Amino acid sequence: MLNQAQKEAIKATIPVLKANGVALTSYFYERMFRHNPELKHIFNQGNQHSGKQPTALAGAVLAYAEHIDDPSVLASALMGIGHKHVSLNIRPEQYDLVGQHLLASIGEVLDLPGDSPLLEAWALAYDQLATLMAGVENKMYRQTLGQTGGWSGWRPFIIRQKVQESAEITSFYLYPSDGGQVASFLPGQFVSVRLFLPEINLLQPRQYSLSNAPNGAYYRISVKRESGSSLRPDGMISNRLHNFTREGDVVELTPPAGGFTLKQDQPGPVVFISGGVGQTPLLSMAETVLNTHSPRPMIWVHGARNKTSHAFRELLNTWSQRSDTLRFFNFYEQPDEPLAPNPAVIPGRVDLHLIKAFIILPQATYYLCGPEPFLRQQYGDLIALGVKPENINYEEFGPQTLTLRQEFVVNEAV
Given the rule CB under 6 A, which residues bind ligand FAD?
44, 46, 49-50, 190, 206-209, 222-224, 226, 228, 232-233, 235-239, 258, 277, 280, 397-398
- Cβ 137 vs Cβ 86: under 8 Å: yes
Q: Is 226 helix (H, G, I), strand (E, B) or coil?
A: coil
Q: Which does 60 bind (CB under 5 to 8 A by kind): ligand FAD, ligand HEM, none?
A: ligand HEM
Binding partner at 101 among ligand FAD, ligand HEM, none, C-beta below 5 to 8 Å by kind: none
Phi, psi of 350 (to 5 degrees): -55, 125
Contact partner, 223, from ligand HEM, ligand FAD, none, Cβ < 5-8 Å per class? ligand FAD
Choose the catalytic residue: 27, 29, 64, 95: 95
Q: Annotated catalytic, 165?
A: no
Helix (H, G, I), strand (E, B) or coil at 399: coil
Least separation, in Å, of the C-beta of 228 and ligand FAD?
5
Q: Residues near 187 by Cβ (< 8 Å), separated by ≥ 6?
A: 210, 213, 214, 261, 262, 281, 284, 285, 287, 288
137 is catalytic: yes
Helix spans in 254-389 (H): 279-291, 313-322, 356-359, 372-384
Measured from the CB atom, the residue of 126 and 397 that comes closer to ligand FAD is: 397
CB 332 within 8 A of CB 304: yes
- For strands 155-164 and 219-224, give the pairing: unpaired
We find the least distance from the C-beta atom of residue 402 to ligand FAD, in angstroms, to be 12
Q: How far is the CB of 310 from ligand HEM (least distance, A)?
A: 28
Phi-psi domain of 155 (left: phi exceeds 0; alpha: psi -120 through 50; beta: other): beta
Cα separation, 86 vs 206, in Å, equals: 13
233 binds, among ligand HEM, ligand FAD, none (CB under 5 to 8 A by kind): ligand FAD
What are the DSSP calls for 298-325, one per residue?
EEEEEEESSSTT-TTHHHHHHHHHH-SS
228 binds, among ligand HEM, ligand FAD, none (CB under 5 to 8 A by kind): ligand FAD
% helix, strand, coil for the chain, step of 5: 45, 20, 35
Nearest distance from C-beta of residue 206 to ligand HEM, angstroms: 8
CB of 13 to ligand HEM, least distance (A): 15
Decide whether 308 or 400 has the Cβ nearer to ligand HEM: 400
- Rounded to whole angstroms, the Cα distance separating 157 from 36 reads 29
Toward ligand FAD, which CB reaches closer, 110 or 197?
197
Considering the complex, state which of residue 303 and residue 399 has its C-beta at the smaller distance from ligand HEM: 399
- Residue nearer to ligand FAD on the CB measure, 13 or 53: 53
Q: Which does 85 bind (CB under 5 to 8 A by kind): ligand FAD, ligand HEM, none?
A: ligand HEM
Task: Map 144-210 to HEC letters.
Answer: HHCCCCCCCCCEEEEEEEEEECCCCEEEEEEEECCCCCCCCCCCCCEEEEEEEECCCCEEEEEEEEE
List contacts with ligand HEM (CB under 6 A): 39, 42-44, 47, 53, 56-57, 60, 81, 84-85, 88, 90, 94-95, 98, 129-130, 133, 399-400
Contact 278, 371 (CB under 8 A): yes
Shortest Å distance, C-beta 219 to ligand FAD: 11
Give the one entry of ligand HEM, ligand FAD, none that residue 206 binds, where binding means its C-beta sits below a cut-off of 5 to 8 angstroms depending on kind.
ligand FAD
In whole angstroms, give the CA distance from residue 338 to residue 125: 60
Stretch (H or E) spanning 43: none
Closer by beta carbon to ligand FAD, 195 or else 364: 195
Buried b (16+ CB within 10 A) or exposed e, 193-212: bbbeeeeeebebbbbbbbbb
Q: List the one residue out of 21, 77, 83 whose CA is nearest residue 53.
A: 21
Of residues 49 and 349, the one with the C-beta less far from ligand HEM: 49
CB of 98 to ligand HEM, least distance (A): 4
Q: Which of 27, 64, 126, 137 is catalytic?
A: 137
Active site residues: 95, 137
